[in-house]
Chains A and B, each alone.
Chain A
Amino acid sequence: MPQTRNTPTFEPLIDSREIWGTTLFDGAAAQRGYALNKMCFSFNDAANRAAFLRDEDAYCRSFGLDDEQREAVRRRDVLAMIAAGGNIYYLAKLAGIFGFNVQDVGAQQTGVSVEEFRARLSAAGG
């Protein structure tokens, strides 16, 4: 992570290194996660959200999710869904079914309580 505090300018960086805690949703991820993301895209329709809730695993299978993706969905494990190719904008539609917002999702991924996650966000304004 770059040192950014109290520096007046931000020079372009060298491109090759990893960015901590970050997965780029690139072609490989888009291919890996296609079925999972396609299922989540279907949740734009309320009838599909209801169908998912009636029988989650059957709904996942109908979109061809593999074992790793189905298990990640079953456990509501966002990091595992991302590792299996999930894109956060599509996963947000799945999270919405359970009434989770982006602070809930952020707290889960960072391993803190929602209150602590919100406090971190507020601290960024200091």
Chain B
Amino acid sequence: MARIIGGIGTSHIPAIGLAMARKQFEEPYWKPFFDAYRPVRAWLEAERPTVAVVVYNDHGLNFFLDKMPTFAIGAANEYRNSDEGWGLPTLRPFPGNAAMSWHLIESLAAADFDLTTCQEMLVDHGFVVPMQLLWPDAAAWPVRVIPIHVNTVQHPLPSPARCLKFGQVLGQAIESWPANDRVVVLGTGGLSHQLDGRRAGFINKPFDLYCLEKIVDEPELLARYSIRDLIAYAGTQGPELVQWLIMRGALGSGVRRLESNYHVPISNTGSGMLLLEKAA
């Protein structure tokens, strides 16, 4: 049976992808941010996951407002990124695992989480930037991927409580996959940031640090918030925390924090990073 070996929380903002394309790893602005990923890459190198389930939000590449699913999942054997309008490079395709996707779809639906299924799905920076951050030097992607999209664009958004519950069910679905895959779950986005309105530039470091601390052993504390709470505390893009809660829910009880980092600012964002290992 498949086993979840751990979870990673990470920012996914486009500026990171542009900095990687420009190889700005050693520049003073970027170095503390990129250096924090070295031990995470070493962990991945040692633990060798075979599948990455990547929870992110599409920002207007695959989904437009004509049809906006609350939760959607890829069911393809290959995914590509594409032009988003401002210069992120197009990368080599990501190998998928359609059979495992359909297993997750079936299992989730049986547990009352019915997702929009996508046999074609363009993946945007929310998915691509974390993959680049975690496997920057790989000649070929060393994992097969399953993208899961969460609507954090058009309100109403799914509540933190529902997302934590979704993660718990997702974790059970992953671990009932019959193949012996080693699975890492990525929760991407956040932490506090606000791109729009007169409050643009809002960052809340104390709240971000609180979330980074509590999500490890007390994620239910964060699941009490409403989406409006997250906006008040963490800005209009702060609700992306729900993607971290899905990741955390999937790991179940018994996790160990191996790495944690917080850096302000990365672009307009309080940037969080967390590596959790699941107890064997």
Which residues of A are in contact with B by a Cβ distance under 8 Å? 1-2, 4-10, 12-13, 15, 19-27, 30, 34, 37-38, 40-41, 43-46, 49, 78-79, 82, 87-93, 95-97, 101-103, 105-106, 109-110, 117-118, 120-122, 124-125
Contact = CB atoms under 8 A, between A and B. Distances in A.
A83 to B, nearest CB: 10
Interface of B: 15, 59-61, 64-66, 82-87, 153-156, 194-201, 203-207, 210, 224-226, 228-229, 231-233, 236, 263-265, 267-268, 270
A87 B203 CA distance: 20
Contacts of B194: 22
Given A44-B85, A101-B15, A125-B205, A89 B199 contact: no
Contacts, number: 156
A19 B232 contact: yes
B123 to A, nearest CB: 13
A123 to B, nearest CB: 9
A82 B232 contact: no
A23 B154 CA distance: 12
Contact of A90 (B60, B82, B197, B199): B60
| Chain B, interface SS category | loop
Contacts of B198: 20-21, 79, 109-110
A85 to B, nearest CB: 10
A13 B186 CA distance: 28
Contacts of B268: 102-103, 106, 121
